Amino acid sequence: MIRKTLITLLIILLSSACGRNTSDALVGTWKLVSYGESANLTHPVLGVDAFITFNEDGSVDGNVGCNSFGGKYKLSGEEIVFSEMFSTLMACEEPLMNQESAVLTLFNGKTIFTYEESNDTLVILSLDKKRAIALQK
């Protein structure tokens, strides 16, 4: 009886210590908070609903200023690998085009990411860590 109680307690403790799975935490819609050179991030253009959605099926889509985009993603350790990316091709005002270009440039292949559960912040960095975007749910 004591052994069964101890095993049950151990299972409860282990499952609560595991926290949220990173891939589960990634799924959902994220608002763009900043982007650009890692040492000097820029706030997004005001009044624009810039967002990125990671879907459970491994697809990603969104709009970060002007054009809609989509593609696929795969998690591998602390990397997100983007593939088959596409975007609409509308022309917009320069600030929006600059923002969009800076963000979408990161979605060419492998990136590194960090996730801070305490403030629900996702940071995606280029492999050389020179470019980044910060997102929040």
The CATH number, out of the four listed (3.40.50.12780, 3.30.365.10, 2.40.128.270, 3.40.50.970), of the domain defined by the range 20-136: 2.40.128.270
CA 103 to CA 126: how far, in whole Å? Answer: 11
Could you read off the pLDDT of 86-125 as tens digits, one per residue?
999 999 999 999 999 999 999 998 999 999 988 999 999 9
Could you read off the pLDDT of 47-71 as tens digits, one per residue?
999 999 999 999 999 999 899 999 9
Going by the DSSP 8-state scheme, the letter that residue 128 receives in this structure is T
CA 101 to CA 13: how far, in whole Å? Answer: 46
CB 54 within 8 A of CB 60: yes
Task: Quickly tell me which residue has 């982007």 as its tokens.
Answer: 35
Could you read off the pLDDT of 2-22 as tens digits, one per residue?
544 333 333 333 333 334 455
Extract the tokens encoding 41: 């991030």
Q: What is the pTM of this model?
A: 0.81
